């Protein structure tokens, strides 16, 4: 299934600045696997060392949180959009 | 459903002739009208943070006639705030933010009451501060305070109008609305420090907090009026570069520790410990990292010592000011480490010393030995060696 994965600003530095990536995947997990396969540095930002999606990163299939669907086994169909939504805290971000 | 507001009996709140004129563009709208304007006047709204998000919030809520505004902030106005914190003027630099904001908002609308709390929000004072307000608006800039505001709002049963920003992306929603989800339903845990690339990737487009803060102001007013569809159970995502709004469904998590079926959090906790940090102002982890001061580095360079200066900031920061060092941004270091000669002595620096400390820890693991961290980064260089160098 051809799906689009939207990359949030904080993680674009690991995808060569690309804001979205197209890939073929039958499930959300496959799409994320394909993504971290192409961009290895992204992996530790999305997954724990045990291979679980980090709890401060949410993954949506279209407008639904996959935690309330079939998690990473959620099936995709052509034209679906997967969004990675990390927590951001800024109100007036300062550099360090 | 309108959020119950104010403690004054309804009949005691009236509009003066001057207020009728001031709010006439509200009064002639059926969605607000006299009844709605009186609801606004009775309302008590607490703004956490008077910075980027707090600026449009304060201005619009004051202008709209929210009768009682509370402002919580411990900070003073800095020159670098003026790019986005539009409540403040150049002449306010150095003043306490709450005092400067109060002066500005009172000038805008002298008929409202403004209460200032010049303090950092903590687990000790949050419940006491929140108790007297109807709605809490979260415009803070760090994870511990976000979780603290969420938990305190839930313990007291108050809605939390949430907004946050990052560079040119924003998020907004209303948490803690009766029956709705909370911040922990969305994000059960904060990111561990250092994993979210906030430092090197920092910065924010000045207009962005203006837009996201204005959305929060709109939602606050809608909650007070009880009109329209509140932003509950929906996370609004705003991408300023693509100029797109998207909406994602937010669901109440039955396993949420603070609003779920089996609550394990029934009082406020230590949020800095929860987020794995000891305070925003805590010095970076420099244990075991050898340092050199800017003055000593200058002296050794003048003496002709062979030292490689490695700058681990981003290229756009290098353009602002630099020490003629070799530029390898921290994020690129792992794949470019072979460009470095481990036999040479190396001084690593960034803006203030945090990223360079991370770089040194990485390089130490990669087998480099002759490493020194420039204490205080280019900021210290500007202070101690070259006062003509711009700081940012």
Give the sign of the dihedral formed by CA B340, CA B342, CA B343, CA B349. Answer: positive
Segment among B99-103, B186-190, B276-280 with least mean pLDDT: B276-280
For the complex shown, is ipTM > 0.90?
no
pLDDT at A13 over 90: no
Structure confidence at residue B283 (pLDDT): 46
Instruction: For residue B240, list chain A residues with Cβ-Cβ distance below 8 A.
Output: none
Q: Cβ separation of A89 and B140 shorter than 8 Å?
A: yes
Q: Which of B182, B185, B199, B275 is catalytic?
A: B199
Residue boundaries of the structural domains of chain A: 2-86
CATH number at B291-384: 3.40.250.10
CATH topology of domain A2-86: Ubiquitin-like (UB roll) (3.10.20)
- Tell me whether A88 touches chain B (CB under 8 Å): yes
- Minimum distance, in Å, between the CA of residue B282 and any CA atom of chain A: 12
- Mutation to test the A interface, candidates B52, B78, B88, B167, most A Cβ within 10 Å: B167
Structure confidence at residue B285 (pLDDT): 53
Q: Which residues have a Cβ under 8 Å from the Cβ of B311 and sit 6 or more positions away? A: B318, B322, B323, B325, B326, B327, B328, B349, B350
Helix, strand, or coil (residue B273): helix
Q: Cβ separation of B248 and A63 shorter than 8 Å?
A: yes
Strand partners, B47: B71, B137
For residue B16, what pLDDT band results from cuts at 50, 70 and 90?
A: very high
Structure confidence at residue A94 (pLDDT): 41
Structure confidence at residue B162 (pLDDT): 97
Q: Taking all residues of chain B, what is their mean pLDDT, rounded to a whole number?
A: 92
Q: Cβ separation of B81 and A92 shorter than 8 Å?
A: yes
- Minimum distance, in Å, between the CA of residue A89 and any CA atom of chain B: 5
pLDDT per position as a tens digit, B59-96: 999 999 999 999 999 999 999 999 999 999 999 999 99
Q: Are strands B44-48 and A64-65 parallel, antiparallel or unpaired?
A: unpaired
- Minimum distance, in Å, between the CA of residue A64 and any CA atom of chain B: 6
Which regions of chain B carry the CATH code 3.40.50.720?
Answer: 10-274
Structure confidence at residue B200 (pLDDT): 41
Structure confidence at residue B194 (pLDDT): 60
pLDDT at B214 over 90: yes
pLDDT at A5 over 70: yes
pLDDT per position as a tens digit, B293-329: 999 999 999 999 999 999 999 999 999 999 999 999 9
- Minimum distance, in Å, between the CA of residue B169 and any CA atom of chain A: 7
Which residues numbered 188-217 in B keep a CB inside 8 Å of some CB on A? 188-191, 195-204, 209
By CB atoms closer than 10 A (0-12, 13-18, 19+), residue B362 is middle
pLDDT per position as a tens digit, B123-134: 999 999 999 999
Which regions of chain B carry the CATH code 3.40.250.10?
Answer: 291-384
Catalytic-residue membership of B321: no
* SS3 of chain B: helix, strand, coil, percent, to 5: 35, 15, 45
Instruction: For residue A88, list chain B residues with Cβ-Cβ distance below 8 A.
Output: 164-166, 169, 171, 196
For residue A84, what pLDDT band results from cuts at 50, 70 and 90?
A: very high
pLDDT per position as a tens digit, B339-392: 999 999 999 999 999 899 999 999 999 999 999 999 999 999 999 999 999 999
- Tell me whether B81 touches chain A (CB under 8 Å): yes
> What size, in residues, is chain B?
392
Structure confidence at residue A1 (pLDDT): 87
Listing from the earlier edge strand, what are the strands of the sheet with B307-311? B291-292, B371-374, B345-349, B307-311, B326-327
Helix, strand, or coil (residue B364): helix
Closest Cα in chain B to A20: B242
Percent of chain B with pLDDT over 70: 93
Q: Cβ separation of A92 and B190 shorter than 8 Å?
A: no
Q: Which residues have a Cβ under 8 Å from the Cβ of B83 and sit 6 or more positions away? A: B206
Structure confidence at residue A55 (pLDDT): 84
CATH topology of domain B10-274: Rossmann fold (3.40.50)
- Tell me whether A86 touches chain B (CB under 8 Å): yes
For residue A96, what pLDDT band results from cuts at 50, 70 and 90?
A: very low
- Tell me whether B181 touches chain A (CB under 8 Å): no
Structure confidence at residue B196 (pLDDT): 57
Catalytic-residue membership of B256: no
- Closest residue by Cα to residue A81 from A2, A1, A3, A22: A3
Q: Which of B182, B256, B275, B350 is catalytic?
A: B350
pLDDT per position as a tens digit, B40-51: 999 999 999 999
d(CA B217, CA B61): 6
């Amino acid at each position: 299934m051809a799906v689009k994965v939207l990359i949030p600003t904080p993680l674009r530095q690991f995808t060569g600045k690309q804001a979205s990536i197209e890939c073929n995947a039958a499930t959300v997990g496959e799409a994320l696997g394909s993504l971290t396969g192409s961009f290895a540095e992204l992996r530790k930002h999305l997954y724990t060392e045990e291979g679980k999606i980090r709890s401060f990163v949410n993954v949506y299939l279209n407008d639904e949180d996959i935690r309330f669907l079939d998690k990473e086994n959620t099936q995709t169909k052509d034209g679906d959009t997967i969004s990675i939504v990390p927590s951001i805290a800024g109100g007036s971000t300062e550099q360090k | 459903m309108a959020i119950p507001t104010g403690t004054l009996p309804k009949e005691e709140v009236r509009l003066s002739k001057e207020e009728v004129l001031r709010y006439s563009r509200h009064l002639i709208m059926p969605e607000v009208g006299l009844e709605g304007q009186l609801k606004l006047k009775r309302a008590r709204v607490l703004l956490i943070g008077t910075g980027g998000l707090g600026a449009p919030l304060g201005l619009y809520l004051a202008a709209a006639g929210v009768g009682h505004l509370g402002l919580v902030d411990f900070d003073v106005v800095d020159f670098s705030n003026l790019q986005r914190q539009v409540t403040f003027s150049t002449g306010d630099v150095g003043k306490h933010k709450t005092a400067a904001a109060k002066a500005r908002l009172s000038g805008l609308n002298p008929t409202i009451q403004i209460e200032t709390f010049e303090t950092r929000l903590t687990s000790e004072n949050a419940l006491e501060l929140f108790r007297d307000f109807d709605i809490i608006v979260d415009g803070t800039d760090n994870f511990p305070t976000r979780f603290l505001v969420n938990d305190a709002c839930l313990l007291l049963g108050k809605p939390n109008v949430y907004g946050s920003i990052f560079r040119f992306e924003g998020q907004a929603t209303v948490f803690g609305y009766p029956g709705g989800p909370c911040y922990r339903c969305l994000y059960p845990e904060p990111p561990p420090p250092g994993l979210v690339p906030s430092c090197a990737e920092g910065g924010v487009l000045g207009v962005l907090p203006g837009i996201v803060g204005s959305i929060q102001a709109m939602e606050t007013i809608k909650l007070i009026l009880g009109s329209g569809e509140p932003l509950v159970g929906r996370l609004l995502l705003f991408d300023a570069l693509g100029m797109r709004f998207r909406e994602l469904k937010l669901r109440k998590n039955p396993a949420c520790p603070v609003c779920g079926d089996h609550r394990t959090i029934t009082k406020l906790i230590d949020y800095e410990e929860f987020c794995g940090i000891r305070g925003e102002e805590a010095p970076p982890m420099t244990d075991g990292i050898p340092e050199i001061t800017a003055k000593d580095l200058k002296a050794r360079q003048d003496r002709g010592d062979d030292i490689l200066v490695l700058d681990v900031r981003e290229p756009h920061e290098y353009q602002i000011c630099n020490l003629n060092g070799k530029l390898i941004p921290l994020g690129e270091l792992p794949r470019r480490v072979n460009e470095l000669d481990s036999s040479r002595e190396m001084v690593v620096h960034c803006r203030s010393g945090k990223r360079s400390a991370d770089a040194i820890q990485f390089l130490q693991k990669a087998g480099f030995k002759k490493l020194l961290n420039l204490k205080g980064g280019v900021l210290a260089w500007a202070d101690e060696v070259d006062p003509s160098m711009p700081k940012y």
